[in-house]
Structure 1
Amino acid sequence: MTALQRIEQGSALQQTDDADLVARIDMLNAIGIALSSENDMPHLLERILIGAKQITRADAGTLYTINDQQKLNFEIVQTTSLGIKRGGSSARPVQLEPISLYRGNGSPNNKLVVTYCALNNKTVNLPDVYKENDTGFDFSGPRLFDKKMNYRTRSMLCVPMINHDGKTIGVIQLINKKSINGPVAFDDDDIHLLQSLASQAAIALTNKRLIDDLKALFDSFIKTIAASIDETSAHTGEHCRRVPYLTLALADAASRDQKCMKDFILNKQQRYNLEVASWLHDCGKLATPIHIVDKSTKLETVFDRIELIDTRFEVLKRDANIARLEALLEAGHDKDRIELIEKQYREEIKQLTDQRDTIRQCNIGAESMPPELKERIKQIAARTWRNCDDELVPFFSEDEINNLLIPYGTLNADERKIINDHIVVTNKMLASMQFPDEMASVPEYAGGHHERMDGKGYPLGLTREQMSVPARVMAIADVFEALTSWDRPYKKAKKLSEALAILGKMKQRNHIDPDLFDLFIRDKVYLPYAREFMDPELIDIDEPSEIPGYPFDMP
C-alpha cells in the first residue's frame, strides 16, 4: 500500500467516525426530546438507560437512583446478550438490595465503582475491570455475576446524574461496549455523550419528581379539605371519602361498557380529574353555617328548642293543677263535683302529654309529613300560655310553628336554600382555582351533582344533554351515598333494597341518567360499595332481580 493509499484510507475512516459521531449526537438529541415528554417514572428511567446503551453501544447497563436513606436503588437492569431485562416496562422487578453509600461508622463507601461515582460526582471509565488491580475498587460483584451467568465483564463506564443544585441523584453504569471484535473500552466520545445524556436525565428526573411532589401536595390538600368538611359535622361523617369511591367505580364500569355507554371513554387524565372533582364536590360546605349542617331536629338552632316546648307544657300542667286545687277548695265536700274536677284534670293532663309527645315526634323530622299530623300541629298551636312576665302569648312563636310544619327533613325553606347554595359556593371556589388546561373539566364534573336530567335541578338547571357523563355519574353516586348513609341527622340509613328502589323511581321521573342507572344495577356497582361501607344487616339483596319498586329488563 502506497503512502497515498494509506492517507486516503485514513481519511475514509475519519469520515466514517465523524458520520457515526454525528449520528450518535442526533440520537442523543432524540433521546433528550423523548425524556422531556415522558410522564411515567419507570418508563422514564428505562428510556434513560436504553438511550445510554444506544449512544455508547453498551451491551449491559444499570441505572441507580439515590434514596432518602443514602442508598443506591437498582431501578433498571439490562443485559442484551443475556436477555436480561428487569424493572421499567418489564413485568419483572429488580430484586436486589440497595447499596449503602456510607458504612456503619459513617465513612464513605468508596470501594465500589458506583458508590465512588455517586459520592465524588466523578465519571469512572475502566477498560477492563479484571486488569484494574491498582484502583482499589472491589470487583467481587461483577466476578460473581460472570461466574453465575457465564459472562465476561470487561469495560465499565459509570457517570453520575447531577441535578441543577450540583447534587448527584443517580448513576448510570454501562458494561462492555460492543464491536465486531467483541467488547472494547469506552472512548472519550462515549464519555462526553453519556455525560450529556446524564445531565439531561438528571433534569428530566428532577422535573418529574417535582411534578410528582406537587401532585402529591395537591392531592393531600384536596383530601384535607374534604376531611375538614366531614370533621366539622358528626352528620357528614365520611361523605367526602365515600362519594369518590362510588363515583370512580361507576365511571370505570361506564368506560368498560360496550352497550349503552359504548361511546364513553375515560382516559387516565379524565379519571384523575373526576377523582379530584369527587373529593372537592362539597367544598362549598366550608362556608355553610355548622348549626344548619348539624340541624338534627326541626327546632334545633344552637340548641334544641324542644326543651322550651317541654317547659311550656309543664307550665300548662302546673296551671291545670293549680286550677284543680282551686276548684277542689270551692267544691268543698261535694263528691260529685270533686269527681268531675279530678276527671277533667286527668283528661287535660293526658291531652297535654299526648300533644307534647306529638310535638316531640314531629320535631325529629321524616322523609314526609302526613297531612293529619300537620293539622294536629296547627290545633296545638292554637293554645296559649302565660310567660314569665305573666303575659298571655301564643304557645308557639311564628318561627317555631314554621319549623314544626317542615314537610320533610329538618330544614326550613331558608335553611334548605343555604344548604343548597353550597354548590353555588363550590362552583365559585373551583372557578377561582387556576386549574391547568388538562384539568379544566374539574369544576364542571364537581358542580353538577345536584342537577337533574329533566333540567329541574340546581344550581344551573342543566339537562342531561348539557351535562358530561362524569357529572351524571357523580349525581348518582351522591344520591346513593346519601340514601345509604347512617350519619345523616334526620333519617336512618336505608336498606340496600330501599335505596335502589328509590334510585329506580328517580330514573322513572327523569331525575338521574337512565343508562348509567341501568349499568349501576346490571354490573352491580352498588354491591362492593355496600359491603365496604354499609351495615351488613342492611344489605338485604344481592341479585338485581330481587330489587323491588320499579321494572327492569335484564339484557
Structure 2
Amino acid sequence: MPSPLRPDQRRFPLHVHISVMFTCLMLLTGVLLGIFNYRQTTQIILSSSEKLFNRIEQDVRLDLHATYEPIRHLLSLLADNPAAAAPDLEQRLALLKPFSQSLKDNPNLASLYLGYGNGDFFMVRPLRTPDLKTRFKAPDAAAYQVWSIERNGSGSQMHSQSLFFDQDLNVISRQEHPDETYDPRTRAWFSSARSDSDQTTTEPYIFFSTHNVGTTLARRSGENAVMGADLTLAELSSTLAKHVVTPGTEIVLFDAQGNAIAYPDSRRLIIDDQTARLIKAADLSPSLGALLGNPPAGNRLEGAGRQWIVARSRMQEGGPKGLQLALLVPEDELLVDAYRMRWQGALITLATLLLCLPLGWLTSRILVKPLRALVQEADAIRSFDFNFPASRRSPVLEVDQLSVSMARMKDTLASFFQITASLSAETRFTPLLERVLFETVKIGQAQAGLIYLRENDGDRMEPHGLVINGAPQPLPSFDVQGHELHDQQSPAWLQQLSKADNVVTNLGFEHAADLQKVLLALECPRVHLIGIRLHNRHNETVGLLILLLADSGQQSDLEKLSPDRIAFLQAVSGAAAVCIDSQRLQARQKQLLDSFIQLLAGAIDAKSPYTGGHCQRV
C-alpha cells in the first residue's frame, strides 16, 4: 500500500500544473493543423473519388454492352437461316459453316445450338483447348464438335451422336450416345424464348463442360425452334482488373442472388467442392462482406480494420434482373495526397512543439514519473500480476488518488480472481455449494452463512447449505425451513430481499423465526444479516445467500457492512450463481440424455420383435 502522506507535502490538482503550459500550445497547434488538413483533405476527397468512380462505372457499362450486343445481332442473323428449320441432321449440317465462322469470330462464345419443339437438338461447340478434347473424347485434330439429338415422330426413340470436324470442316470421327437423356424443352432458355418474341438472357451460371462463368442468350427461330448461344464472361474479370486503381481495391460484378460474376482474380469465382458453384460476392473479402451485408447510407465504410470509399451501381445487362457493380477503395491508398498533407501538418506541429520543449520538459519531468509508475502497475494488473510493487505517492492530488484507488483495486481483483478460479475448478455440486459458503463467509467476515436454492420453476427457496464458525452443519439439526420468495407470511428480511438485489438489516432472536437455533449456536442474541439474491446469466433468481455477522455494537461492524464490501460480495455471488446454475443445468442435461436414450431403446425394442429387449438392457 502507498506510504502515509507526510504533513510537509502539498498536493495540488493536476490541471493546475498542465493547463497554463498546454493551453496556448494546443490552441496554436489545433488551429493551424485543423485548418490546413480540413481544407486540403476535403478538396481532394470531393474532387477525386466521385469522378474516378463515375469513370469506372461507365467503362464497365460499355464493356458489358460490347460483350452482349454483338451476340444478340449474331443470333438475329443466324435465326433466319433456312437450315435452322431443317428436319434432320443431314440438312442441319448446312449450319456448320456459319456457326463455325461465328464461333471463330467471337472467342467469348462457348457454343451455338438449336432446340426444337419435338425434342431435337443441334449444337456446334469449338474445341479450343486440349482439356475440352479430352472431356469429349475428341481426336487431336478435331476443331469442332457437332452434337445432334433426333427423335422419331412419337418421341419414343432418340438418336444422340457427336460428329467431330477439323479446321476445314471435314468429318474425322463419330460417337454414339445411347444413354443420352438431354431434352432441350426442359431447359429455362428454351421455355423462356418460346414464350417471348424478343431475345432472352439467363442469369449467369457455370458451364458444365468448360467450368467457365457464362450466360445463355436465346431467341425463337421460326415456329418450332429456339436458337441459343453460350457466352462466357471471363473477359469481364479482365476488364475489372484494369480498374484496380490501388493495390487494395476491391471491385466485383454480381447478380441479384449475390453470386460473383466477375472479379479481378477470376480463379476465386468458382468453388469446387462437391459440385462447382459460384462464390458469393460477400465471401470474396471482409470488406465486400461488410458492404453487401450492411450497406452504408453514404459512400464511406469501415471494415476489415480500414476506412473505405465505396460505390454501388446497377447494370441493366446480365440477365432478367441485371447485374450490380460494387467498388471499394481504401481511403489511405486513394488519398495519398491527403496523407502527405497530414505529414506536413505533423511537421508544423513538431516545429511548434520544439519551440515549447524546454518549458514542457521541465514541467513534465516532475509530473510524468509517478504516471509512468502507474502505467507499469496497470500493465502488471492487465497481465494478472498482482505482486507488482505499488507505486509511490505523488505530489499531484488526482494522481495520488488514482494510485491509492489502483492499489485497492489490485487487492480486490486478486481476491476475486482467486475465488472465481476455485469455484470454476469445482465440478461436483455439493462441494461447490460448500465452497461458495466458505468463500463468501470469509470475505464478509461473517460467523455464519446459509444458501437457499430455487426449486424447479417456482418461487420456493429451499435451504441447501449451512456454515457456522467455519464448519458445515447439517440442516435438519437447526430446523431451517424453506420459504416462498413473494409470500407475505415469510420473514421480514426475506420480504425485503424479494424486492431488492441485496438487503442489510439487523436481526434479533425474537424475530429470527427458523434461524433462532443458528443464533443460539452463535451465542449471539443479535446479528447483522446480509442477504444477496443469486442471479443466473438470464438475470433470473436461482437462490439466496444469507450471511450472519455478530452485532458487537462497535465501529468495526460498520466497516464490514460498507457499500464496497457489499458490492464485492455481490460480484462474488454473481460468479458463484453462474457456477451453480451451470452445474444444475449440466445435471439436467445428463438426465435428459439418459431419458432420451432409454426412450430410443424402448422404441426400438417395441418396434422389432427380434431384439428381445437387448437395446433396453444396453
Shared fold per TM-score greater than 0.5: no
Higher helix share: 1
TM-score normalised over the length of structure 2: 0.31
TM-score normalised over the length of structure 1: 0.35
